[in-house]
Amino acid sequence: MRQPHPTRRSLVAAGAALALPGTVLAQAKAPLVGPLAPNPQAFRQAMEQFIGKARPQADGLLLDVPVLADNPSGVPVKVKITLPITEQDWCEEIIVLAELNPSPLACRLQFTAAAGTAEASVRLRLAQSQTVHALARMKSGKVLATKQAVTVAASGCGM
């Protein structure tokens, strides 16, 4: 049997082996830096810009995200307003934010009273395990907010 290279470490699973250089293993454990790093300033700015002076309330907005994402390139997310939609008060806009992605604003959805409902399903690419936030702005000025922690099973965002 051939001995592995002294600067390489091997991963063995189900009869298959993968040899990785020590530098790759060290990089995998290192925190993200550069353009793929989380951008907390952009996250805070997006939250503040959407909320404005309103006080977010937790009731009325449903966020359905799996607790464990086995495919970080396509995490299913469903957002739904559970408050009654009327001609006087409807959901104008919903945003979904991925807190630790390099670009936290994952999607922005706009609605009119004619829609009759405010719900959408999207797939997000998550860079790492993190919290996904959903915010909704009603015509009355009320802001709804909810969040869900998601554990990513593998590296996402093409990393």
pLDDT at 21: 41
- How many other C-beta atoms lie within 10 A of the C-beta of residue 27? 10
pLDDT at 117: 87
As a whole number of angstroms, the distance between CA 113 and CA 86 comes to 7
Tell me the residue type at 34: G
Residue 120 C-alpha from the chain's centroid: 15
Tell me the residue type at 104: P
Could you give the domains of the chain? 1-30 (no CATH), 38-152 (2.60.40.2470)
- Give the position of tokens 């959805």: 109
Pairing of strands 68-69, 143-152: parallel
Residue 65 C-alpha from the chain's centroid: 9
As a whole number of angstroms, the distance between CA 40 and CA 73 comes to 21
- How many other C-beta atoms lie within 10 A of the C-beta of residue 99? 22
pLDDT at 155: 52
pLDDT at 36: 74
10-residue mean pLDDT series, the chain (159 residues): 48 38 42 73 95 93 95 94 90 96 94 88 93 96 96 65
